Every structure is written in C-alpha cells, then in structure tokens.
C-alpha cells in the first residue's frame, strides 16, 4: 500500500485520467503508461506541455503499450517488485519534497516516471528524448 501523497490539482487530474486509462485497458493496477497517458491528457498543464514540445502523442503512446491479458500487471523487464508505478510515485513524492512544493504535480510525475527505469513509460520517454533536463525546464 502506498503512503497517502498530496497532489496539486494538475497532479490529481493526471491521476484521474490514468485511473480511467487503466480501467479501460483492463489492468489490475495502474501501469506507468497509464500515468504517462494521464499526464498527456492533462492538456495545458506543465507536464503535458513538456510532452507536447517533445512531440509525445497520445495515440503513439497507446500504440507502444504492450498487450497483456486483462487483469495482468505491467510487464517488467527485470524485477517483479516493487511495482514500477510505486517507484514512480515515490520518486515523484521525493521530487515534490525536494522542490518545497505543497504537492505532487505533473512535472514531479514525469520525473518519477523516469526513475521507474523498468517501466514502459520510462522507455517511451527516453525514445522521445525526454530526459530530466527537458522536464525540469518545463517547470519554469
């Protein structure tokens, strides 16, 4: 069970979209790609703007999500636990605390996804050239 994190409005919006994406895809838990799609769908928010500048598009991300049987967990490349979404959220929380903000926003969520290196979203971000520097620039 994850500790209760506080989220900004844009962070909450991304999480709602991620939960819908996860449910629609039949995942038993939220995948990192669901969260990436949630950030993409949070149009006008800092994280979505970073992704737009990097030309990361919703349809392309959906096309890159590996197929899995309904109810399965995210395919992981190396270690089975902790889950990649847990790693991403914990890293996002650390980023929020480090930056002194009152909650986790879409920039923190993107930085967290980069830390979940065995997650599919980290690979997609890397394939699009989205790294820590680009994300941090988007926070300005």
- 32, 74 Cβ separation under 8 angstroms: yes
Question: What contacts 57, CB < 8 A, 6 or more positions away?
Answer: 40
Mind giving me the DSSP string for 29-82? S--HHHHHHHHHHSTTSHHHHHHHHTT--HHHHHHHSPP--TTPPPP-SS--SS
pTM to 2 decimal places: 0.83
| Least confident stretch, 24-33, 54-63, 74-83, 110-119 | 74-83
Asked if residue 64 lies in contact with residue 33, where contact means CB atoms within 8 angstroms, the answer is: yes
The closest alpha carbon to 30, from 78, 65, 59, 3, belongs to: 65
Q: Average the pLDDT over each of 10-19, 70-79, 87-96 and give the range with the smallest value.
A: 70-79
Residue 79: the pLDDT is 41
State residue 7 phi and psi, 5-degree precision: -125, 150
Higher pLDDT, 137 or 50: 50
pLDDT in tens, 48-73: 999 999 999 999 888 887 665 444 45
103-128 tens-digit pLDDT: 999 999 999 999 999 888 999 999 99
Taking the domains of the chain in order of start, what are their residue ranges? 9-138
Residue 81 is predicted with a pLDDT of 52
Options 1.10.3720.10, 1.10.1780.10, 3.90.470.10, 1.10.10.10; which CATH number does 9-138 get?
1.10.1780.10
| Residue 103: per-residue pLDDT | 93
Using an 8 Å Cβ cutoff, are 119 and 85 in contact? yes
Nearest to 137 by CA among 67, 61, 62, 53: 53
């Amino acid at each position: 069970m994850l500790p209760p994190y506080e989220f900004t409005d844009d962070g909450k919006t991304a999480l709602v979209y991620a939960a819908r994406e996860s449910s629609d895809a039949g995942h038993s838990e939220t995948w990192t790609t669901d969260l990436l799609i949630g950030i993409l769908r949070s149009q006008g928010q800092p994280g979505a703007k970073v992704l737009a500048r990097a030309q990361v598009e919703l349809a392309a991300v959906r096309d890159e999500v590996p197929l899995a049987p309904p109810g399965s967990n995210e395919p992981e490349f190396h270690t089975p636990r902790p889950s990649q979404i847990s790693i991403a959220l914990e890293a996002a929380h650390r980023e929020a605390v480090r930056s002194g903000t009152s909650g986790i926003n879409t920039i923190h969520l993107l930085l967290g996804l980069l830390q979940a290196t065995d997650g599919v979203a980290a690979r997609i971000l890397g394939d699009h050239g989205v790294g820590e520097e680009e994300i941090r620039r988007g926070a300005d």
